[in-house]
Amino acid sequence: MQDLFMAGTDTSAITIEWAFAELINNPHVMKKARQEIDSVTRRNRIIEESDLPNLPYLRAIVKETLRLHPAAPLLGRQSTEISNVCGYEIPSKSLLFINLWSMGRDPKIWENPLEFRPESFIEEGQLDVRGQYFQLMPFGTGRRVCPGASLALQIVPSNLAAMIQCFEWKVDGIVSMEEKPGMTVPRAHPLICVPVPRFSVLPSIHSV
Is 35 contained in some domain? Answer: yes
82 pLDDT higher than 70: yes
| Structural domain contains residue 116 | yes
The whole-model pTM stands at 0.88
- Which of helix, strand or coil describes residue 167? strand
Q: How confident is the model at residue 126, as a pLDDT?
A: 65
Instruction: Write the CATH number for 8.
Output: 1.10.630.10
Question: Is 153 within a domain?
Answer: yes
Over range 192-208, report the average pLDDT. Answer: 74
pLDDT confidence of residue 124: 64
When pLDDT is cut at 50, 70 and 90, the band that residue 9 belongs to is confident
Whether 180 contacts 186, CB under 8 Å: yes
Number of domains in the chain: 1
Q: Which domain, by its residues, includes 11?
A: 2-72+101-197
Integer Cα distance of 44 and 177 in angstroms: 34
- pLDDT one-digit tens code per residue, 47-70: 999 999 999 999 999 999 999 999
The reply to whether 186 falls in a domain is yes
Mean pLDDT, to the nearest integer, of 187-201? 89
Higher pLDDT, 44 or 204: 44
pLDDT above 70 for 6 = no
pLDDT at 187 over 50: yes
Under the banding of pLDDT at 50, 70 and 90, the label for residue 208 is very low
Distance, in Å, from the CA atom of 196 to the CA atom of 181, rounded to the nearest integer, reads 32
- pLDDT-derived band of residue 200, with 50, 70 and 90 as boundaries? confident
Is pLDDT of 189 > 90? yes
CB atoms within 10 A of CB 161: 27
User: ∠94-97-103 over CA atoms, to 5°?
Assistant: 145
- Give a yes or no: residue 85 inside a domain: no
> Do the domain assignments include residue 115?
yes
CA distance 159 to 169: 15
Instruction: Considering only residues 140 and 208, tell me which one the structure prediction assigns the higher pLDDT.
Output: 140
169 burial (CB, 10 Å; 0-12 / 13-18 / 19+) is middle
CA distance 29 to 40: 17
Provide the CA 140 distance to its chain's centre, in angstroms: 14
Residue 84 lies in a domain: no
Burial of 201 (0-12, 13-18, 19+ CB in 10 A): exposed
